[in-house]
Structure 1
Amino acid sequence: MPDERTGFESRRRTFLKSVGALGVTAAGSSVATAQESTESADSLGDYHQALRDDLTGRGGNRTLPAGEYVYGTTEEAALEAFSLEGDGEESTISVDTDAVPITTAGRLNVSGGAGQPHEVSYKGLIEDASFSEGDLLLGVAYVRSDSEHAQAKASFKYEYTDSDGETTYSDSFVQRGAEMDPTGEWLRYFFPIEVGAKPDGSDHVPFLEFWTGYGDQTIEFGGLALIDYSDDDVDLGTLPPYDYEGRSPDAEWREEAHERIEEHRKTDLEVEVLGPGGQPMNRAGVEVEMQEHEFDFGSAVSVNHVTGDEEDDETYRETFLEYFNKAVVENGLKYPAWEGGWDMSQDDIRSTLDWLNERDVPTRGHYLLWEEYTTDGGGGMYIENADELSTDEIEDLVAEKIRNHAETFDGEVSDWDMHNHPIWQSNFRDTEGLGWEAVDRWWQVANEATDDELYTNEMGAIGGAWQRSQYLDYIEHLVENDYPVDGIGFMGHHQQQWGQMLPITGDRSMEEGFDAFADFDLPLLITEFDIEIFSRRNAQDVAVQADYTRDFLTMAFSKEAVEGVMSWGFWEEDHWRPTGAYFDSDWTLRENGEVYRDLVFDEWWTHERGWTDHDGVFETRGFKGDYAVRARKGGLTGEKIVTVDDETETVTVELSPDDEESDDEESDDDVECGPGRDDEPGKGPGWKGKKGNGHGKGKRGNGHGKGKHGKKHGWKENDERT
């Protein structure tokens, strides 16, 4: 498959990783340095070496030292330490798959124990090592099961003799992630352990075990390991699986967010149904079916796949239209792409914009200004001979590029990232002879060249918080000096390795960031949302990604100032961080994709049916957006396509005779207002082609969103500009 990102995107990853490191350091987090273990690398089996390489090579503040293996250094040695206790049978199997690095596993055929999980366990006693209170350990296991609703739970305890001479057990010291719901594929689980005090008694023997007594089930364990970090500088928060504050389903912030969603994203709707003579029609069946959100749930799109003719390209286009209502061309409008520096034709870029505009999909322009001379960061102004030019020549060249770009695509895009990466890269402002005066001029040029809205765009303010204060200062400068800024954009890229899944509320939290920028009274837009995790094979990484997707979207949707969330791609085969995509390479919807779908097209989607009252009126409440409103009484039908927002009062539907039916064919009480979404996404007409009947012009209409918010700030005369 051709890849329009080859080369420059890999370089951008390198840059962003280095920037992420600076951001984490600035935030005060420490980064653990990989250390040599006393174990010889030659003594490690392939799996144990691969596991160590993974944990010591992660980067960011999730890098771990080597530690010491407790259950031996080979798969076989670890398996020998574990045995089944309770009703069931145990056997050893070979693992023949390239999907995971293990080669052997223990299979447990569990019987009985339903309701008493601890009565059947897979247990590994540790008789040749001792631990002290406060020591940190990390348990690891690959687990799978073909049994429906399989369950297991990890535990680390002391077995000891109490004062009465009885064998008893301490509480478990596993700190998080103990519960497992194995599936038919091998998935890895981590179990961070902080060893507690030894209970009063004697003969304390520590052990790791997995409770499996949840009823009849077959469950397999491989890749068993226990890593001791007691001699290393590691804290509990550094150990996987990773979490974030506010994740709990009953966290207090959720109720407030749902109340804000009810207040800001929904509105009352009154439907008046009139007969052919203008008389109110009581007991008329009414259907109010949402077609499109007012809120932007968009995605970046690839020129190659919008214009391609392969089967995957067709699926790509269909999937985009099915799941998203706004677009940004990921690379096609960057200067090196448009001006021939990358292998991308102007005809294909034009065709991509045409395809989107023909379907009334508002499309963002990315970007007009990026203070980078070359393409090393993934874009820039594409000035290859900058060292041969004077600052006056550079200023004029950049101004001309901005003017040409804005005029070339005027009316074809809804808004622009006018100033991209203003905090990460201030190369032009740091150049003597350019500085803020040149930036002032470039904003003015853009404002004069187009009526399309002009946004800023930066990372590390909502996706992480390591550039938040600098970005706030930058926006304050724009607003105080009356720049023509129409909105504030945030690159919501989250990398698990850098700990960028913010707390939901509190200090340096997601909510604090939204609220701080909302004070500028400008629309806020998440321009590039994704969540990169370490591995799709790690069950707990997948779970936290899904939960953070849920919570990020919920918080964003609940904040009145936020106008949308643009995902930065959706398919694994065309995503700059493949673990962050919503769809696997075979188009299977991933867990984070299911969360996105269920929120956008179920929890936040309105499809109501009912009957008019004596006055011919049906009242309901729904999410703001485009609707098909239908009514029927006997052989009379009517339909109206409307945009429902705070300004909408009464929608009047006038009924006329239905040529295909008579009054004898359907009674007043036998209402079938039309099909809704099927239970299975992608099947029902309310989901597939949700714009419906060719009426789905999109909330911005044929003008493609020009001036949705209007120019909030004028531009001062030159002598008043900073």
Structure 2
Amino acid sequence: MKLKSILTIPIFSLALTSLSAQTELPSGKQLLRSPGLDAFSLQLMPSAFDSVSIDTVDTESDFGFDSAWRIETKGDTGPWYAVQLQSSSFTELKKGDTGIVRFFARTLESADESGLGQIGVGIRPAIGWGRGMVSETFNAPEEWGEFLVPFTADADYERFEAQVSFTLGYRAQTIEIGGLECLTFGDAVAFSDLPRTRFTYEGRETNSAWREAALERIEEIRKGDLSIRVVDAKGKPVRNAKLTLAQTESAFEWGTAIPFERLLVDTPDNLIFREKVLELFNAASPENDLKWGAWLGEFQGNFNREQALDGLKWLQEHDIPTRGHVLVWPGRGNLPDQVRELLGTPEQDQIQGIVLDHIREISAATKDYLYEWDVLNEPYTNHDLMDALGKEIMVEWFEVAREEMPDMMLYLNDFSNHDFTTDAEHVQHFEDTARYLVDNGAPLDALGLQAHIGGKPNAPENVLATLDRYWNAFNLPIRITEFDIRTTDEELQADYTRDFFTLAFSHPSIVGVQLWGFWENAHWIPTAAMYREDWSEKPSVDVYKSLLFDQWRTNLESKTDKEGTFATRAFFGDYTVTVQAGNKEIEYSFALPRGESKEVEIQLP
């Protein structure tokens, strides 16, 4: 995702009085060039040009400010980053410095079902997109409410290199924001000592109805009937034989995106990284190594096809199934130099041939290492090729991919398509694109939902309803392809990891969940990682291990009955069973395939 700043409107004239706010803050430096909202400018994407108005208004509050911004969005201006208030930093930040953004907000009108307006807060590099210190989303109450968003600098930033932003591209709403302060404390105040506004989500409660229903579905759809019969050398049943059943792998795919350099260059951290990959995951994809520019060596950093192939070989040698990402990412900024130079010229008709040649070339080089590909990535915001050549070119991308890779699962992949209540336009576009591909004969095998979760996570019931919508419309497998939770609230991160994994594992359409990284130093949003920079574990690691290796694995001890049989319901996956009877012992391995039952007969020597 990349924000295109189409229209920038400076905003001045808001004078703030000294605050006597509800929460006392430590003394610090101003992060921005002025303490209030007049440091910000308004940036709009084309979809929001005629839909947003902003005024400075007099107001009354109990918090010491008497002026505020009134921001009205007159319709659904999604995506959320279509409307932003932005200000670059005026004070240098050193890595590890702490700070806080404090503001007050209220909702006057909102088209949202909750009746509350939405506001997103981000702190990130002023240039580029992705890595950042804060990305939080919350609702503004009807009466003035205080919001406190602490942060820790994730790198050194010179003046103007960091940016504070408020994102407002949501449903029609009128909100007011006042009493803004952005402070930095250097290394004088610990992050843990700073006050914060904590966020939650509907359905977080342990006794939520959705959770009980999900756990029932898990028992039904993720387990099969397993029967083990033990006989002696003459084929007669062995009664009271001791069985120790151990599940060694899940049939469900729990994966991660990987920077391939981490697999191939020996450093102390990279060695730990590889150990974690082998310990935690049974599926993977490259993070960037198979993107077109990286394959050609045009990406900044150490990227080339030799490294890409060596990384794929490493994963294959370690028996980790790997998906390809991505054949065509059709936005100008994600295309190689040769294609960008042709766009908008009389020779742009040559582009489709170049794209198809790339699909053929990279498919031939990688197909022995992969089992699925994202053929088309993020068409909602990346559509320059379709704008130039017509949307029918998408069908041909899938057709050529199928010709080159007859047995490969072929995906349509996009972001912000996991909850129709928070981004209805994006979900509708994703569904319309999938429908267009299917109706025009494209061999679309599966759907990819990125599920990058903000600081105010989506209600599980809403995500489940969106999955139902796709399942009912297409009956195609769905993979969560790029999951992360970008919040500094580690308890919230852990709880939502539990709940998102639970809802995904409970839905019949989902074949796997892939994290978009797991370690702070190899993650596009460091705060979203499960492991900190020093490899210490956040609470989400305990949740991850408990679900995947304890609650959703079948490990037990029992004995055979008088017929020499033991029967149970077991999670789909790979197993080893050890049988002991008298002084005889044997170990036997087998698989309980997804969606099947299994009868195993073991003969003692």
Q: Normalized against structure 2, the TM-score is what?
A: 0.70
Structure number with greater Rg is 1
1:485 matched to which residue of 2? 444
- CA–CA separation in structure 2 for the residues paired with 1:277 and 1:353: 48
RMSD of aligned alpha carbons: 3.6
Is 2:465 aligned against 1:512?
yes
CA distance 1:336–1:34, shift in 2 (3 Å): farther
1:273 matched to which residue of 2? 230
2:52 matched to which residue of 1? none
Higher mean displacement: 249-258 or 389-398: 389-398
Secondary structure, counterpart of 1:621 in structure 2:
strand
- CA–CA separation in structure 2 for the residues paired with 1:648 and 1:469: 38
Gaps of 5+ in 1: 1-11, 22-31, 73-96, 103-132, 143-184, 189-221, 225-238, 657-722
Confirm or deny: 8 A CA contact 1:369 1:381 kept in the other structure.
Answer: no
Is 2:476 aligned against 1:527?
no
Give CA deviations for 1:163-196 in whole Å, capped at 9, x if unaligned: xxxxxxxxxxxxxxxxxxxxxx9555xxxxxxxx
Task: Indicate which of 144, 161, 166 corresponds to 1:136.
Answer: 144
CA distance 1:625–1:98, shift in 2 (3 Å): closer
Secondary structure, counterpart of 2:306 in structure 1:
helix
Is 2:348 aligned against 1:391?
yes
Give CA deviations for 1:250-297 in whole Å, capped at 9, x if unaligned: 111111101110100011211111222322111111111111111110
Task: Indicate which of 409, 423, 440 corresponds to 1:465.
Answer: 423
CA distance 1:621–1:450, shift in 2 (3 Å): same
Residue identity matched to 1:334: K
- CA–CA separation in structure 2 for the residues paired with 1:570 and 1:426: 30
- CA–CA separation in structure 2 for the residues paired with 1:591 and 1:429: 43
Residue 493 of structure 1 deviates from its aligned partner by 0.9
Give CA deviations for 1:141-162 in whole Å, capped at 9, x if unaligned: 99xxxxxxxxxxxxxxxxxxxx
Residue 574 of structure 1 deviates from its aligned partner by 0.4
- CA–CA separation in structure 1 for the residues paired with 2:280 and 2:60: 45
Residue 568 of structure 1 deviates from its aligned partner by 0.4
Higher mean displacement: 594-603 or 309-318: 594-603
2:305 matched to which residue of 1? 346
- CA–CA separation in structure 2 for the residues paired with 1:412 and 1:359: 12
Task: Indicate which of 299, 303, 312 corresponds to 2:260.
Answer: 303
CA distance 1:518–1:304, shift in 2 (3 Å): same
2:400 matched to which residue of 1? 445
- CA–CA separation in structure 2 for the residues paired with 1:572 and 1:619: 44
1:553 matched to which residue of 2? 501
Give CA deviations for 1:340-377 in whole Å, capped at 9, x if unaligned: 212323322211111100111110100111212443xx
Residue identity matched to 2:146: L
Secondary structure, counterpart of 2:225 in structure 1:
strand
Task: Indicate which of 466, 474, 495 corresponds to 2:454.
Answer: 495
Is 2:605 aligned against 1:650?
no
Task: Indicate which of 2, 18, 32 corresponds to 1:39.
Answer: 18
Equivalent pairs counted in the alignment come to: 467
Secondary structure, counterpart of 1:627 in structure 2:
strand
Confirm or deny: 8 A CA contact 2:231 2:238 kept in the other structure.
Answer: yes
Confirm or deny: 8 A CA contact 2:224 2:569 kept in the other structure.
Answer: yes
Is 2:543 aligned against 1:595?
yes
CA distance 1:58–1:286, shift in 2 (3 Å): farther
Task: Indicate which of 542, 545, 567 corresponds to 1:619.
Answer: 567
CA distance 1:249–1:36, shift in 2 (3 Å): farther
Confirm or deny: 8 A CA contact 2:395 2:440 kept in the other structure.
Answer: no
Residue 69 of structure 1 deviates from its aligned partner by 9.2
Confirm or deny: 8 A CA contact 1:285 1:611 kept in the other structure.
Answer: yes
- CA–CA separation in structure 2 for the residues paired with 1:317 and 1:477: 41
Give CA deviations for 1:469-504 in whole Å, capped at 9, x if unaligned: 1111111222223320110001111222xx5x2222
Q: Percent identity?
A: 32
Is 2:286 aligned against 1:329?
yes
Give CA deviations for 1:186-239 in whole Å, capped at 9, x if unaligned: 555xxxxxxxxxxxxxxxxxxxxxxxxxxxxxxxxx657xxxxxxxxxxxxxx9
- CA–CA separation in structure 2 for the residues paired with 1:423 and 1:278: 62
Question: Where does 1:281-300 land on structure 2 (aligned, <5 Å)?
Answer: 281-300=238-257
Confirm or deny: 8 A CA contact 2:292 2:328 kept in the other structure.
Answer: no
Task: Indicate which of 516, 523, 532 corresponds to 1:568.
Answer: 516
Q: Normalized against structure 1, the TM-score is what?
A: 0.59
Is 2:558 aligned against 1:610?
yes
CA distance 1:135–1:518, shift in 2 (3 Å): closer
Confirm or deny: 8 A CA contact 1:456 1:485 kept in the other structure.
Answer: yes
1:673 matched to which residue of 2? none
CA distance 1:416–1:18, shift in 2 (3 Å): farther
CA distance 1:70–1:370, shift in 2 (3 Å): closer
Task: Indicate which of 564, 580, 583 corresponds to 1:635.
Answer: 583
Residue 381 of structure 1 deviates from its aligned partner by 8.2
Higher mean displacement: 607-616 or 634-643: 634-643
Confirm or deny: 8 A CA contact 1:371 1:381 kept in the other structure.
Answer: no
2:433 matched to which residue of 1? 474
2:208 matched to which residue of 1? 251
- CA–CA separation in structure 1 for the residues paired with 2:413 and 2:313: 25
Confirm or deny: 8 A CA contact 2:262 2:270 kept in the other structure.
Answer: yes
Residue identity matched to 2:571: F
- CA–CA separation in structure 1 for the residues paired with 2:336 and 2:208: 42
Secondary structure, counterpart of 2:339 in structure 1:
coil
- CA–CA separation in structure 2 for the residues paired with 1:423 and 1:401: 22
1:370 matched to which residue of 2? 329
Secondary structure, counterpart of 2:28 in structure 1:
helix
Confirm or deny: 8 A CA contact 1:335 1:381 kept in the other structure.
Answer: no
CA distance 1:252–1:482, shift in 2 (3 Å): same
Residue identity matched to 2:423: A
Gaps of 5+ in 2: 44-55, 66-94, 101-140, 151-188
Residue identity matched to 2:373: W
